Amino acid sequence: MTKAVLSETPRETPKQNPCAQCGMPIPRPDWIEPGEGRVSYLWTCHACNYRFEAVAIFDEVAVEHPPLAA
């Protein structure tokens, strides 16, 4: 039986990402927003309530959009 892979998790979710402000490791992102060839992770630090976003780029995804040059 084939399992469908959810687009929200193209790869493993990053964990223990250090807070951008105080350096406290954050177990998991608050929010994951998949995009085209990239995934945005919203992290909220529970130690200082700082919020920041980290974007993972997946360059192996073939983007077939033509260049914008007219």
Taking the least distance from each CB to Zn ion, the nearer of 47 and 61 is 47
Strand partners, 39: 34, 56
Token pair of 59, please?
Answer: 């360059």
Stretch that binds Zn ion, among 3-11, 14-22, 36-44, 57-65 (CB under 5 A): 14-22
Taking the least distance from each CB to Zn ion, the nearer of 23 and 35 is 23
Taking the least distance from each CB to Zn ion, the nearer of 37 and 50 is 50
Residues near Zn ion (CB under 5 A) are 19, 21-22, 24, 45, 47-48, 50
